[in-house]
């Protein structure tokens, strides 16, 4: 059994920050669960474009409000507490946080290691395969 406290992890190396967002990695690839689980906070008023070409992601809104736009179709959906979205086609998308921080629970498959950095196109590199 794995038990971790967000409050302990938010000031640890498992808390990764970049341009106006922070992601606390609760589960990572080395936990061997087959997915990673993160609590991600997007700063109020911020906008982020991502394209997880090598990962599937599902996201559940815990608090705050914002929107997500599918950049292939231009379709925009509102995000608020209780809303979930899944990037089942490796969708390139833009997420916007509203007037408050947007707090999201995120799962990645395959799991991330915790050391990834967003590439110029908004993706993470493909996970290395075991030899």
- In tens, the pLDDT along 71-101 reads 999 999 999 999 999 999 999 999 999 999 9
Q: What is the CA radius of gyration of the chain?
A: 14
pTM for the model stands at 0.88
pLDDT of 129 higher than 60: no
Listed in sequence order, the residues at least 6 apart from 38 whose beta carbon sits closer than 8 Å to its beta carbon are: 23, 24, 25, 26, 105, 106, 107, 108, 112
Binned at pLDDT 50, 70 and 90, residue 110 comes out as: very high
Rounded to the nearest 5 percent, the helix, strand and coil shares of the chain are: 5, 45, 50
CATH code 3.40.605.10 for 13-109: no
Beta bridge partners of 28: none
Sheet holding 66-70, edge to edge: 47-50, 93-97, 66-70, 76-79
74 exposure class (CB count in 10 Å sphere: 0-12, 13-18, 19+): exposed
Q: What average pLDDT score do residues 117-121 get?
A: 67
**3-class DSSP state of 43:** coil
pLDDT of 53 higher than 60: yes
Residue-wise pLDDT tens digits, 33-43: 999 999 999 99
In this predicted structure, the answer to whether residue 118 has a pLDDT above a threshold of 80 is no
Each domain of the chain, given as residue ranges in start order, spans 13-109
Question: HSE on the CB side for 84, CA within 13 Å?
Answer: 8
User: What one-character DSSP code corresponds to residue 59?
Assistant: E
Query: Please, which pLDDT band fits residue 114 given cuts at 50, 70 and 90?
Result: confident
């Amino acid at each position: 059994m794995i038990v971790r406290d967000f409050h302990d992890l938010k000031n640890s190396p498992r808390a990764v920050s970049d341009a106006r967002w922070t992601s606390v990695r609760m589960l990572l690839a080395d936990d061997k669960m087959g997915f990673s689980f993160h609590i991600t906070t997007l700063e109020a008023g911020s906008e982020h474009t991502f394209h997880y070409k090598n990962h599937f992601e599902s996201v559940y809104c815990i608090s705050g409000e914002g929107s997500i736009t599918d950049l292939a179709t231009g379709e925009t959906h509102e995000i608020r507490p209780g809303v979930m979205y899944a990037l089942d086609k490796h969708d390139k998308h833009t997420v916007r946080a509203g007037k408050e921080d947007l707090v999201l629970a995120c799962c990645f498959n395959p799991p991330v290691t915790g050391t990834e950095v967003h590439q110029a196109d908004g993706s993470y590199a493909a996970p290395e395969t075991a030899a």
